[in-house]
């Protein structure tokens, strides 16, 4: 597949805005004929076998296979210079050495992974690549807990569609990762005790590692796996990616099937990926995305574009340029001030502006942005939380642990308030399209909730470090189905910066004395979780 | 005339009754404010206090919100026109089928 125009601008926004009145009729008309869908699993994925999916490794990455990006490892495997078994063993060695400190995994599938790594690699960039799977994705015959007492003995009878697609593409499930209980907060035990640390400050659990896809982020940042999956309901891919120097991609709602993922808020749960750079994120999403007969939200959408080519930098006469001319919207106050974050944002915008094809434009926040994306309207998601959990709420309130309160809040909602919230979503979308995206093609984000409410895509990537050595990241938001444009911008920025190639130092050797000197891992209370929940 | 806001006691009755009507019994939780030592689940009084705040805040604010009528609408018809915006569970997905 070649790329001519990004997918986002093939949607005529004015046309559907003008036809909004037809919506109610279409909605109430109900059933729409759906195309016949090929079964998602076991299919060949030629989009993963294109030249741009393989990247010749940096010389400095050759000494240690855990340093390789996914695309670099794929190049070595394809060339017969790296065996999947050796890549896997390198990761297992780091897990053995460091995961007692990181606590990124709650289950490492050593035997199954070794067995899978012995298979002769086929064609495609994910062949023989070990991945971390967030523990709210079903894994067939492997315990899937969502870090909750409610699922502590749950062994799914099938893989989540996204997992099945990754496996069908040749990836190896190395383990299941720690997460906020039921995907609510940073990773803790179900009773609130912090588990996973930020890989950049492994001896200080007080540093926010980002949640709730914390374990995947720490596993990738700590070089215990190549890439992994996450879910985002309220920033749970972008936040840990920003916190741990990763590139995280939260696609448009429906791009990736939710079938086989334990729900948190079903209109807001976005499966996506946490990876080392834009190319790796593109490879992961290429495998995960597409129609699924088991999830109607994935059907009838625009085709998945060539994400891997989109994430490949473009050069004209040896000089980098953006793949597509793009207006980058900058909202008021985004880079104002002298804080480390503000300075990093200023440098980031300056770097972007220097890339031919990029135009920075000041854009306003839509009317009532703070109200319609604030706590009250964000809470409209809560009945989606309680409704699928009613059997558990009736007989096992204590099983929700510290996460309980939001589920009870959802159960208190009336239909009126819920519908007001759904009507406000369309209002907010139209304002975002009319007042912001009429002026730009992508827009900087300072918090992900608004675009999570709307189901719009976001990409997170690193832009610097604080004086304390903690990563600083940023988020770009795009139009519906605009993952390719977002990837193209992140890839161009990463072609002229090296933040994404920096890795954290290894944790000090675990010893009783060293452990005693570390701050204790705190325990979150139910009240704190109610405030922090995604 | 606006109704008198409910007291804490009235809200507690409402919350318990609403949850009970769904089959949820708060008495599964430990009495008082201390969390369950085994699971970290909140105590009954703590969760009731949190839920009272939620009802007064989120529920009340959402219930009071009126969707705006188009800019420039005559105030005489604004209330009626605010009924027109459609609810959408998946707004981003709709962008494709709304233009196809």
Q: What is the pLDDT of residue A25?
A: 33
- For chain A positions 258-287, those within 8 Å of chain B (CB to CB) are 267
Q: What is the pLDDT of residue A359?
A: 98
Complex ipTM: 0.97
Q: Which residue in the set A16, A376, A416 is minimally distant from B98, CB to CB?
A: A16
Residue to mutate among B19, B88, B97, B100, with most A CBs inside 10 A, is: B88
Q: Looking at residue A193, what DSSP letter applies? A: B
A134 catalytically annotated: yes
A212 catalytically annotated: yes
Q: What is the pLDDT of residue B100?
A: 63
- Total beta-carbon pairs less than 8 A apart between chain A and chain B: 194
Question: pLDDT of B46-88, one tens digit each?
Answer: 999 999 999 999 999 999 999 999 889 999 999 999 999 999 9
3-state secondary structure A108-165: ECHHHHHHHHCCCCCCCCCCCCEEEEECCECECCECCCCCCHHHCCCCCCCCCHHHHH
Catalytic residue (one of A148, A167, A176, A212) = A212
A466 catalytically annotated: no
The pTM of the whole model exceeds 0.90: yes
Question: pLDDT of A221-267, one tens digit each?
Answer: 999 999 999 999 999 999 999 999 999 999 999 999 999 999 999 99
Give dist(CA A433, CA A373) in Å, integer: 15
Q: What is the pLDDT of residue B97?
A: 82
Q: Do A527 and B46 touch (CB under 8 A)?
A: yes
Residue to mutate among A150, A397, A435, A478, with most B CBs inside 10 A, is: A397
Q: Which residue in the set A301, A397, A525 is minimally distant from B96, CB to CB?
A: A301
- How far CA A251 is from CA of A167, A199, A229, A269, A290, in Å, comes to 20, 25, 12, 10, 11
**Chain A contact for B67 (CB, 8 A cutoff):** yes
Q: What is the pLDDT of residue A512?
A: 56
From chain A, pick out residues whose CB is under 8 angstroms from the CB of B54: 379, 409, 412
Q: How confident is the model at residue A11 (pLDDT cuts 50, 70, 90)?
A: low
- How far CA A515 is from CA of A98, A204, A205, A519, in Å, comes to 13, 11, 12, 8
Report strand pairing: A326-330 vs A442-445.
parallel
């Amino acid at each position: 597949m070649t790329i001519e125009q990004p997918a986002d601008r093939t949607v005529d926004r004015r046309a559907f805005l003008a036809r909004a009145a037809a919506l109610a009729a279409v909605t109430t008309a109900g059933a729409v004929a759906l195309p016949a869908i090929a079964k998602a699993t076991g299919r060949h994925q030629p989009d993963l076998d294109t030249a741009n999916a393989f990247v010749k490794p940096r010389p400095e990455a050759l000494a240690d296979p855990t340093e390789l990006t996914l695309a670099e490892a794929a190049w070595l495997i394809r060339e017969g210079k790296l065996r999947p078994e050796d890549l896997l063993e390198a990761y297992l060695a780091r897990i053995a050495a460091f995961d007692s400190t990181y606590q990124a995994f709650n289950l490492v599938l050593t035997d199954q992974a070794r067995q899978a790594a012995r298979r002769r690699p086929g064609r495609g960039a994910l062949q023989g690549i070990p991945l971390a799977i967030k523990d709210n994705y079903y894994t067939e015959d492997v315990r899937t807990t969502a870090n909750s007492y409610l699922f502590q003995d749950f062994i799914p009878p099938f893989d989540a569609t996204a997992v099945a697609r990754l496996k069908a593409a040749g990836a190896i499930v190395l383990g299941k990762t720690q997460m906020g209980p039921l995907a609510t907060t940073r990773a803790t035990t179900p009773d609130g005790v912090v588990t996973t640390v930020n890989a950049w400050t492994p001896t200080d659990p007080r540093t926010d590692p980002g949640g709730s896809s914390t374990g995947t982020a720490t596993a990738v940042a700590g070089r215990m796996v190549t890439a992994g999956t996450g879910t985002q309901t309220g920033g749970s891919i972008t936040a840990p990616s920003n916190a741990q120097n990763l590139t995280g991609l939260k696609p448009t709602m429906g791009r990736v099937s939710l079938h086989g993922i334990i729900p948190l808020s079903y209109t807001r749960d976005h499966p996506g990926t946490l990876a080392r750079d834009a190319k790796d994120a593109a490879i992961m999403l290429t495998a995960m995305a597409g129609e699924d007969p088991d999830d109607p939200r994935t059907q009838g959408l625009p085709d998945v574009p060539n994400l891997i080519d989109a994430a490949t930098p473009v050069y004209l006469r040896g000089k980098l340029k953006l793949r597509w001319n793009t207006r980058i919207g900058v909202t008021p106050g985004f880079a104002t001030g002298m804080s480390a974050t503000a300075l990093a944002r200023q440098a980031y915008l300056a770097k972007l502006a220097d890339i031919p094809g990029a135009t920075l434009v000041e854009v306003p926040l839509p009317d009532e942005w703070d109200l319609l994306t604030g706590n009250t309207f964000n809470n409209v998601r809560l009945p989606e939380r309680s409704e699928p959990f009613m059997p558990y709420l009736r007989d096992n309130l204590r099983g929700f642990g510290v996460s309980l309160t939001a589920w009870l809040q959802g159960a208190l909602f009336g239909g009126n308030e819920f519908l007001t919230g759904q009507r406000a979503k369309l209002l907010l979308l139209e304002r975002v399209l009319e007042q912001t995206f009429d002026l730009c093609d992508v827009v900087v984000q300072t918090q992900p909730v608004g675009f999570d409410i709307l189901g719009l895509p976001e990409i997170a990537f690193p832009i610097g470090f604080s004086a304390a050595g903690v990563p600083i990241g940023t988020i770009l938001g795009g139009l519906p189905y605009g993952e390719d444009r977002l990837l193209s911008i992140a890839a161009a920025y990463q072609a002229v910066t090296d933040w994404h190639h920096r890795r954290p130092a290894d944790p000090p050797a675990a010893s009783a004395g060293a452990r005693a000197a570390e701050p204790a891992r705190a325990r979150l209370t139910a009240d704190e979780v109610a405030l922090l929940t995604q | 005339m606006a109704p008198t806001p409910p007291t804490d006691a009235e809200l507690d009755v409402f919350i318990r009754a609403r949850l009970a009507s769904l089959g949820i019994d708060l008495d599964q939780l430990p009495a008082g404010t201390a969390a369950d030592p085994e699971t970290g689940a909140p105590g009954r009084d703590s969760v009731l206090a949190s839920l009272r705040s939620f009802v007064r805040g989120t529920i009340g604010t959402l219930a009071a919100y009126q969707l705006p009528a188009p800019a420039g609408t005559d105030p005489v018809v604004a209330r009626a026109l605010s009924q027109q915006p459609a609810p959408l569970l998946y707004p981003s997905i709709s962008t494709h089928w709304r233009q196809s």
